[in-house]
Structure 1
Amino acid sequence: MNILEKNIQALASGTNEPLALKLNDFLKNQKCTRFSLDENLNIFDLKNQVFMYSDVNQEIDYFKNAILEKTLRYPFVCIYGIGNALLLKSLISFYKHIFIFESEIELFILALSVIDLSEELSNGKIYLVDINEEKVNIQLSMLFDQKDMFEYLSLYEMFINCSYYEKYFIEEIEKIDHIINDNINLVIRNLDPEGKLSLICYKHFIQNIPLMLKSIPFQRIIQKRKNQFENCIVVCAGPSLEKQIPLLKKYQENFVIFCADGAFPLLYKNDIIPDYILNIDIDEYPITFFKDIKKEKLDKTLFISTLHTHPKVISYLLECNINVSLPLAINVPYQNININEFGYIEAGTHVGHVCYTLALLLEFKNIIIIGQDLAYNDKGNSHFSDFALGENIDNTLNIPSLKILAYGGEGEVLTHLAWDDYRKKLEILFASNTQAKFYNATEGGARIAFTEELSFKECCLKFANQNKKILEIPKKLTLNRGNKFLKKVIEIFKKDLYIINQTLEDAKFLYNALEKILLNEDKLTLEFLVKFYENIENFNSLIEQNLILHDGNLKNVLYCRGENLSKIILTKISEEEKYLSLYFVIYKDWLIFFREKLNEKKEILNNLVQNL
């Protein structure tokens, strides 16, 4: 196996299978016609009739030193242009991750023919990004959300491989720089930097555990119902929904209907009974959607809600004898309780997202979307008229607005930042699940990539080829089995509390030690400071390795740590003693925030264990 084959195999098995497939396809069907490599490893550009490097070694050394000077103590670096890969190889030992961005497939081929990077490509130390990849946004959002990346996103800067790229690829550099910044901002917003939502969701999760044990185990629903039907409709509550109601009513027996909770009153008023109603709200206002309904009409409908939904909503539905199921969200704190019979689902941040993931879990092949406007209509409304919370409710939320590409690809529509973030997350979901086809039949609002736009009428005519059969509602757990599960969960939470208490003790000890060091730093040697820095790194490793501590509920706390430490890194302080002194000040302050949030989590757990 030659170097190129080895590198491509490492790409395929490690960090970037789509690029590996693209490289193999190129090698089978094409040859390098624009770029060639000489015996000195200089690259000649036949189109512009110019060598990439004026002097290979001299230019690589120059850009290496320039990058290192500007990235002192950076955990990662982003570079435009792979060149002959010699610069990349010379920088490997200085960073945890190196991201290389390139638009030319031939340059990938030439560079990967020169140097064996297979180990670094396999373990993710080097990540090659093809900026022409259709799903580049998906790749970047996943990369920047890694646990050793999201803390330090404020350090992002795009560096250049050599002068050649700056001269001939400036448009490509500006394009990917814009895309990267867009994805970084999306990741940071999703981190909940202020920590307002994370612990609320955790509190609801804890409070909903007893309610979950009284509901239908979600895994039973999936086991009994998956692959029963091919075609479904997801109904959201955008302003375009009203015009689709007549067709939805006509064809409701031909499709399984997933309904966002806010859209339910409009469907119910028009005698359309959905098969699934979904909700993920942390507020109790969704109860409004289910007032004054005849419960017997919903005897075959399943209400699916994640465990961070407001407990009053769940309690209300259970009291009304509505069929409720509460799956656990797919992330660490939920999976840690290890009661797999209740199943897991990717919840996302909006109710539509969980509608689509449920449809995927049930193995639908054709998923038709209506009411997913993600934009204001021409009257400035955010929802259909008579929406329970007001047709212009989003106008009252004071969210920054922007214009984006409209449905159909012509013109623009007005949206807001939260909807736009949601649209991007949906595009990631749709692009990542090619086993199903997504048809956007909203006929209004924003364009959503990785969907086929088709009118609702055409969708109905194309897919209304069978009547849906009535499926049984799975049974709940017996009282005895539910109590056994509850005891099991409480024992797990007691162990979690022990770990949290130990961590709080360690954090307190570390804080007190830092206070003493900062009071006496003039008397301490550099050797001592370096040794104590290792203690901090050990504490950081403990947090990262422990699933109770390094979970979504403390993610904003960890982001705060990296964001504040990045401010010191950006000062480019070369003197180790001065850098460590500033580092200790920042870390001591962060420990106050960390202990505060961890104590809040401890109180939430304590309340459940003591009350039950």
Structure 2
Amino acid sequence: MPHVLLNKTFAQNLNAIFGVDQPLSVMLRQISKLVKFKSENKKLIFLPENELVYENFEAHFKEKKEYFDQNFAKHPVMFFYGLGNGVLLKYLLKNKKHKRIIVFESELELFYLALQELDLSKDIEQERLILFYTSNLNPAQFQTLFAYPDIETSLKTYNFHVQCEFYEKHYKNEIEKIHQELIEQIKFNFLKRGNDPLDSIIGIKNILINLPKMLRHGIFKAFLKQRFKQVKSAIIVSTGPSLSKQLPLLKKYANKASIMCADSAYPILAKNDIKPDFVFMLERTDFTAEFFNNDFKDFDEGILFILTSVVDKNATKYLEKNNRNYMIVSRPLLFAASLGLDEFGYLGAGHSVANMAYELAAALRHENIIFIGQDLA
């Protein structure tokens, strides 16, 4: 079996990989011999079946080069299964319009052989070339990958390219599995930004309407500093079917914790004379504002209503009508972030008002956080 040889190019590549993927760098350093692949006379050979990875690399490279130059020259992000001998990827990296090239490879030995021959260290360091060893993949890596702004904003141009027919023959199931995982992550990224353009327009309109009131009703960062670590426990109250059973116990312990309640739970707590410390509103719909269309007299004294800036204008109208104390924060959405009002804070990254309450409970460093009435959790 061919023995591993070390060279300057390989060392440079491994040092670059170590900075972004230490486990892969360590595994490559530990290879003592090659048993599945070898490179001979510039031909890449799959030893178990004495099969060429490329039947005719020159013809293959010419075909792929023309294909990508004609169809993908302006694509900022490209996904590949298979590193192969790395030559095609090295060529594509010359095009500075390709901001990221992401490669999934199942064979450590193919990493080794390509990294012996081609200096990819600068592109690896700059993360223009992102290499994944598929045996080490986990969901967190996919999430991190799609957090890169240039990847996140290029999802509509997604294509999953396979290096050559050798991979399609031997790794068909692996290719399909990774492709599906990428598709699921792309779907999630789209959905977390909203799936209804009209909904987004309503949110932007509400933000602009609520903006003057947000500027007049307190700075969220100052509030966090003031209330930081003041109370050990928090109880987050939602309106699931079990809430009615839990109200007597909640009333008993209400003075021992911060009571954080959803807008829909607020009238129920008022009816049962359980005063929350905070009431949250997340949604932009007009009917949600009706939870504040009431007058509980002195009960509201000392309660802070925390609203996201996308809520309907009636929410603040009803709060002001009865002199309730409120604060407006932004959801971490693109339009709100573009306003640059970071000191007024962000809440509501999750999909429910209970998530919003939890974000604040965690930010204030409550040691114990208890959910009640959250039956679908």
TM range (shorter): 0.7 to 0.9
- Name the SS of the counterpart of 2:90 in structure 1: helix
Partner of 1:215: 217
- Gapped runs of 5+ residues in structure 1? 375-441, 443-612
> Using a 3 Å threshold, how does the CA distance of structure 1 residues 183 and 336 change in structure 2: closer, same or farther?
closer
Please give the residue correspondences for 1:363-374 in structure 2 after superposition, counting only pairs within 5 Å. 363-364=365-366, 367-369=369-371
Partner of 1:326: 328
> Using a 3 Å threshold, how does the CA distance of structure 1 residues 49 and 201 change in structure 2: closer, same or farther?
same
- Gapped runs of 5+ residues in structure 2? 1-6
- Name the SS of the counterpart of 1:197 in structure 2: helix
TM-score normalised by the chain length of structure 2: 0.76
Distance 1:289 1:112 in 2: 62
Distance 1:250 1:42 in 2: 77
CA deviation vs aligned residue, 1:551-607 (integer Å, no higher than 9, x gap): xxxxxxxxxxxxxxxxxxxxxxxxxxxxxxxxxxxxxxxxxxxxxxxxxxxxxxxxx
Please give the residue correspondences for 1:72-87 in structure 2 after superposition, counting only pairs within 5 Å. 72-73=72-73, 75=75, 76-87=77-88
1:307 shift after superposition: 1.7
Q: Any conservation in 1 of the 2:46–2:53 contact (CA below 8 Å)?
A: no
Distance 2:107 2:249 in 1: 48
1:123 shift after superposition: 4.0
CA deviation vs aligned residue, 1:299-342 (integer Å, no higher than 9, x gap): 34322112222222023223323231112444565455555543
Partner of 1:121: 124
> Using a 3 Å threshold, how does the CA distance of structure 1 residues 115 and 56 change in structure 2: closer, same or farther?
farther
Distance 2:112 2:249 in 1: 53
Residue 301 (1) aligns with residue 303 (2): yes
Distance 1:105 1:368 in 2: 46
Please give the residue correspondences for 1:139-178 in structure 2 after superposition, counting only pairs within 5 Å. 139-143=144-148, 146=151, 148-150=153-155, 153=156, 155-178=157-180
User: Residue type of the partner of 1:22?
Assistant: P
1:251 shift after superposition: 5.0
Q: Any conservation in 2 of the 1:53–1:59 contact (CA below 8 Å)?
A: no
User: Residue type of the partner of 1:184?
Assistant: I
1:58 shift after superposition: 3.9
TM-score normalised by the chain length of structure 1: 0.50
Q: Any conservation in 2 of the 1:36–1:45 contact (CA below 8 Å)?
A: yes
User: Residue type of the partner of 2:313?
Assistant: P
1:158 shift after superposition: 1.9
User: Residue type of the partner of 1:128?
Assistant: L
Distance 1:230 1:63 in 2: 65
Distance 1:367 1:321 in 2: 29
Partner of 1:92: 93
Partner of 1:260: 262
Q: Any conservation in 2 of the 1:83–1:111 contact (CA below 8 Å)?
A: yes
CA deviation vs aligned residue, 1:332-378 (integer Å, no higher than 9, x gap): 6545555554334464554344334333432445655555566xxxx
Partner of 2:288: 286
1:53 shift after superposition: 1.4
> Using a 3 Å threshold, how does the CA distance of structure 1 residues 3 and 357 change in structure 2: closer, same or farther?
farther
Partner of 1:64: 64
> Using a 3 Å threshold, how does the CA distance of structure 1 residues 93 and 341 change in structure 2: closer, same or farther?
closer
- Name the SS of the counterpart of 1:304 in structure 2: strand
> Using a 3 Å threshold, how does the CA distance of structure 1 residues 362 and 56 change in structure 2: closer, same or farther?
farther
Q: Any conservation in 1 of the 2:282–2:307 contact (CA below 8 Å)?
A: yes
Q: Any conservation in 2 of the 1:144–1:184 contact (CA below 8 Å)?
A: no
Distance 2:238 2:15 in 1: 43
- Name the SS of the counterpart of 1:316 in structure 2: helix
- Name the SS of the counterpart of 1:326 in structure 2: strand
> Using a 3 Å threshold, how does the CA distance of structure 1 residues 147 and 332 change in structure 2: closer, same or farther?
same
The CA RMSD over aligned residues, in Å, is 4.0
Partner of 1:101: 104
1:114 shift after superposition: 4.2
Partner of 1:423: none
Distance 1:249 1:109 in 2: 65
CA deviation vs aligned residue, 1:164-209 (integer Å, no higher than 9, x gap): 3212221121112222222333434455576313332222222212
User: Residue type of the partner of 2:118?
Assistant: I
Q: How many residues align?
A: 366
User: Residue type of the partner of 1:171?
Assistant: N
- The structure whose residues are more often helix, as a share, is 1
CA deviation vs aligned residue, 1:95-131 (integer Å, no higher than 9, x gap): 5232222345665555445433233334443333455
Name which of 133, 157, 164 aligns with 2:138: 133
> Using a 3 Å threshold, how does the CA distance of structure 1 residues 303 and 29 change in structure 2: closer, same or farther?
farther
Q: Percent identity?
A: 30
Q: Any conservation in 2 of the 1:98–1:125 contact (CA below 8 Å)?
A: yes
> Using a 3 Å threshold, how does the CA distance of structure 1 residues 177 and 247 change in structure 2: closer, same or farther?
farther
1:62 shift after superposition: 6.1
- Name the SS of the counterpart of 1:313 in structure 2: helix
